[in-house]
Amino acid sequence: MVAKISLGNSLYGSLVYNGEKINKEHGRVLDTNKIYNDGTGKINIQRVFEDFKRWMPQATKAEKTMMHISLNPHPDDRLSEAQYIQIAHEYMEKMGFADMPYVVVKHEDIDRHHIHIVALRVRPDGSAIDSRNNYYRSKEITREIERKYGLHTAERQKITPDMPIRKIDPNGDIKRQVANTVKMVGMRYKFQTLGEYNAILSLYNIRCEEADGRVNGREYHGLVYFATDDNGKTIASPFKASRLGKFAGREAIEQRYERSRERIEIKQMKKEVSGIMSQSTGKEDFIARLKAENIDLVLRYTDEGRIYGATYIDHDSRTVLNGSRLGRTFSANALENWFNNPADNPIATPQPDVQTDTQQEPQPDIQSDNSTPDNGQQQSQSDNSQSGNSQSTGPQSNGGSSSRSTGQTQSTGTNINQKQSQGYDDTSMLDGLGGLFSVGPGFDAQEEAFYREMQRRKKKKKRRGPKL
């Protein structure tokens, strides 16, 4: 039997949580101690809350005035309601709560039935029941109960580094699944914003929202977690971070932000995504290629269907980065433009419109005269050349340099087919560079294009001047 104990000061909130289970017919009141019980299994939250208040002291130094306990037998144990009641009272007596007011509620929303106990932990004189060593005391008591009733020994599942993370199963223990997923994500992944945190959580059907407000004159700043379906629709009541554990709280997550900033290596991830983008033909191809390299792309859309957020998740390096953090090329706006206009790949060199039929018989090479007149005007003759069209050329016979003309370039059928088999066009890139780069065996058009794009961005940033 696994016992989970949480201390707090939100007595009413705990009663509401259990009351919702009862109202949805996923639970029933089994018994109470010093609290009104009409025997129907239902609960009047306001009436029960008023009963608890009668036992509350006028003043107390205790910050956490109540305790919420869940007792979870092994899945193979099937207990009657009478046994649950008996076990609940024995457990509370051994924990020192025999004279304290409490309510016992059975939860039946999952196959593994279990009980919850909401109890007051401050006495009428203002003193509080000692909570030191609660974990060890509770474990000894549950072991004793297991032996007495012949129950299976149940241990809380430990989180290990190699444990896989799975989507929320609506038919399982949703709270436990949310808690385990949040814990594993926080342990393994590096992220720096709530948006990046939500991107990785969304892969497992979880959403996190900030909760800021004021209760009884006191400000609070926390996090609330939601279990969702594949469409992002909430499927269960939200869970406050405090109900999941300290690891899920706002302070813990913000500390995670700070640690991640020191550990994230943007350059390596940028290089990987750039290489994939340069080879991709559009949205579906880009996502598939990323997936093949164990990278997920999480896109967020407006109601009109426009992309307003893009986050890249590298599961190998355990890194989560918004597209804008990688660079403007990888941002939501750049992807929106590219996906709507597949020819406008932000990185890849545009392909020329060269029509070939690979099924046709090979054409003979076309010979051309590469001589250059004295007046500097380059002449071009080719059976395949068209006025105003720029086509790729291979190394020429005059020392391996490429010949250029005003609006036209030389072309051979053999060279066109060769370049198309390689999947890139080098002339469109070289035309504006005045023959700065020679085209040889070590030349990579995509790499050169990417290099020039990076240099252009650096110069542009320098021209902008400092931010005011």
Residues 6+ apart with CB under 8 A from 64: 7, 8, 9, 121, 128, 131
Per the structure block, which two tokens stand in for 260? 């991640």
> In angstroms, how far is CA 83 from the centroid of its own chain?
42
- Say yes or no: 230 and 190 in one domain: yes
Q: Are residues 255 and 275 in the same domain?
A: no
Whole-number Å distance between alpha carbons of 5 and 71: 9
Are both 273 and 252 inside the same structural domain? no
Q: Residue 107 belongs to what domain range?
A: 2-149
Question: Final residue of a domain: which of 263, 296, 314?
Answer: 263
> Apex CA 106: angle with CA 166 and CA 112, to 5°?
35
In a domain, 258, yes or no: yes
Q: What is the pTM of this model?
A: 0.52
Is position 412 within any domain?
A: yes
pLDDT, residue 23, reads 87
- Within this chain, do residues 9 and 80 fall inside the same structural domain, yes or no? yes
Q: Is residue 354 part of a domain?
A: no
Question: In angstroms, rounded to a whole number, what is the distance separating the alpha carbons of residues 424 and 421?
Answer: 8
Angle at 337 between CA 334 and CA 341, to 5 degrees: 135
3-state DSSP call for residue 380? Answer: coil
Judge residue 56's burial from the number of C-beta atoms within 10 Å of its C-beta, 0-12 exposed, 13-18 middle, 19 or more buried: middle
Residue 326 shares a structural domain with residue 279: yes
CATH at residue 40: 3.30.930.30
- Residue 126 sits in the same domain as residue 253: no
The DSSP code sequence of 137-178 is HHHHHHHHHHHHHTPPP--PPPP-TTPPP----TTS-HHHHH
Residue 402 within a domain: yes
363 found inside a domain: no
Shared domain for 189 and 227, answered yes or no, is yes
CA 287 to each of CA 51, 193, 284, 336, 370: distance values in angstroms, whole numbers, following the listed order: 58, 23, 5, 13, 45
Q: Are residues 313 and 189 in the same domain?
A: no
Average pLDDT per consecutive 10 residues, the chain (468 residues; last block may be shorter): 89 90 88 92 91 91 92 88 95 95 89 89 92 90 93 74 85 87 93 95 95 71 92 90 89 92 89 93 94 95 94 95 92 94 75 40 39 41 38 37 38 40 40 40 52 61 54
Note whether residue 350 is domain-resident.
no
Measured N-to-C along each axis, helices 194-202 and 174-188 cross at an angle, to the nearest 10 degrees, of 120
Query: In terms of domains, do 231 and 330 share one?
Result: no
| pLDDT score of 411 | 39
Q: Which residues contact 341 (CB under 8 A, 6 or more apart)?
A: none
Q: Which of 104, 37, 29 is nearest to 71 (CA)?
A: 104
Position 158 in a domain = no
SS3 at position 110? coil
Choose one of 114, 149, 184: the last residue of a domain: 149
Q: State which amino acid sits at residue 197.
A: Y
Contacts of 207 (CB under 8 A, 6+ apart): 198, 201, 225, 226, 228, 232, 234
Please give the pLDDT value at position 135: 87
Mark whether 6 and 65 lie in a shared domain: yes
Query: Are both 15 and 118 inside the same structural domain?
Result: yes
Last residue of one domain, picked from the residues 263, 288, 317 = 263
The 8-class DSSP code of residue 352 comes to: P
Answer yes or no: do 218 and 199 share one domain. yes
- For residue 169, tell me if it sits in a domain: no
Number of domains making up the chain: 4
**CB 297, CB 311: distance < 8 Å:** yes
